Amino acid sequence: MTRLADVGDYRKFWAASTTSIFGTYVTSLALQVLAALTLHATATEIGLLNAARWVPYLVLGLFVGVLVDRYRSKPLLVGADFARAVVLCAIPLLHLAGLLTLPVLIAVAGLLGLLSLFFDSADQAFLPKLVPVRMLTSANARLEQSHAVAQTTGPLLAAALVKTIGAPLAILLDAISYLISGVLLAGIGTREQSAPRAQRRSVLAELREGVTWVYRHRMLAPQAVAGHLWWLAHNVLTTVQVLYVLRAPDSGLGLGEVQLGITYACAGVGAVAGGALANRSGRRFGAGRTVVTTRVLMPLPWLLVPLTGPGPAATVLLGLSQLLFWVLMGVEGPNEMAYRQAITPARLQGRVNTTIRSLNRGAIVLGAPLGGLIADATSLRTALWAGIAGLIASAAVLAASPARHATLPEPQTTR
């Protein structure tokens, strides 16, 4: 039986993804350093810079999904990588020429977000073409593990590079990572077919078909709705968590940046461990039961955060909370994605994945400020409890739906 490691095209795909995700963490930090220290941006302006990346997902995400379904994924992936490399190279050049201003930097961040939207949409549509259905959970888990390692070590690497060679040159290194990713993807030999012109309709008609397919599907619709609630609640929690950890004991725990970094490192370790269990769990219990069970359990580790008080045990409890939560995330994510990719017709992969992703990104934009508003109006602990309640609501929607019975389609056999 063919193993995932034997699929050469997937190895290139995984290597490209891993290379570019580490570079992305470098740029995320370097852009903020450039804005804060070089361009003297205010907190609001840095907020606008960070938000600029997600605006294309909200405004154009559904339309990009239509384009991904019309055309081959590989050229879109390679083109987006090379284009991102060029855009990033422009930042140090503009800086050297004295032409880099905050509006220019925000515009660059928005353009990078648009290119990333194309890449992400094509990326999720391309994976099911590289591996058989039975390998989708393992393939997604391997990618999630790479992202988890990048989440843990990427910010440390980024900070070291920015401090050693400066933000502009650190961004240049990210440009190189995108070039490497593009070359690796260009070497993938899997053949694709564009959608026949005779089958194409208006963009709006195809867009509506994708949205309708998601929200009328017996299994996928509750997964999507529960996912939107989850992203909203999770971003309430992650926004408030930073303030709760760092603020003085009268309103939080009064810990330092180092302790906060330790909790993030624990999250990365948990995600890697969970990813290692994802395929085994999906095979034994089924994708639906795995996803529902992990969602039901996810609020429990978060209970440790508002229940933790100042003291020497605080860092340990917070680290344990993030470790356990991300173990569950590492198990859940690959199973949910594998099921979605397995049941979605090839002609709808781009639209289905982009529809769900775009609305999830919209939940991020809403969840972060909502957490801050609740905390300012009440308290940090109350905001944390509100986020936990949101996770419980997401789990309830999923557990009460037919999605708990979801299983990956059995592979077709020939006699």
pLDDT of residue 200: 67
* 291 occurs within a structural domain: yes
Q: In this structure, are 27 and 131 located in the same domain?
A: yes
- pLDDT surpasses 50 at 400: yes
Q: In this structure, are 248 and 387 located in the same domain?
A: yes
- Judged by average pLDDT, the poorest of 10-14, 181-185, 268-272 is 268-272
DSSP designation for 98? T
DSSP designation for 133? G
| More confident call, 403 vs 32 | 403
pLDDT of residue 77: 92
Query: Token pair of 257, please?
Result: 């940046």
* 344 occurs within a structural domain: yes
Q: In this structure, are 178 and 216 located in the same domain?
A: no
206: closest CA among 348, 54, 396? 348
121: closest CA among 209, 45, 56? 56
Residue-range definition of the domain harbouring residue 298: 210-405
Q: In this structure, are 393 and 281 located in the same domain?
A: yes
| More confident call, 398 vs 354 | 398
When pLDDT is cut at 50, 70 and 90, the band that residue 234 belongs to is very high
**Residue 32, C-beta contacts closer than 8 angstroms, at least 6 positions apart:** 46, 49, 50
In angstroms, the first-to-last Cα distance of the chain is 17
Q: Is there a contact between 295 and 399 (Cβ–Cβ < 8 Å)?
A: yes
* 394 occurs within a structural domain: yes
Identity of the residue numbered 280: R
pLDDT of residue 85: 94
* 198 occurs within a structural domain: no
- pLDDT surpasses 80 at 327: yes
**Residue 118, C-beta contacts closer than 8 angstroms, at least 6 positions apart:** 64, 67, 68, 76, 79, 80
Total-model pTM: 0.78
pLDDT above 70 covers a percentage of the chain that reads 94
Instruction: Give per-residue pLDDT as tens, 283-292.
Output: 899 999 999 9
Look at the chain and report how many structural domains it folds into: 2
* 154 occurs within a structural domain: yes
Q: What is the CATH number of the domain that holds 346?
A: 1.20.1250.20
Q: In this structure, are 181 and 218 located in the same domain?
A: no
When pLDDT is cut at 50, 70 and 90, the band that residue 379 belongs to is confident
Query: Token pair of 205, please?
Result: 């008609």
Last-in-domain residue among 186, 218, 242: 186
Q: In this structure, are 277 and 168 located in the same domain?
A: no
DSSP designation for 408? P
pLDDT of residue 380: 86
Q: In this structure, are 181 and 223 located in the same domain?
A: no
| More confident call, 374 vs 48 | 374
Q: In this structure, are 216 and 313 located in the same domain?
A: yes
* 411 occurs within a structural domain: no
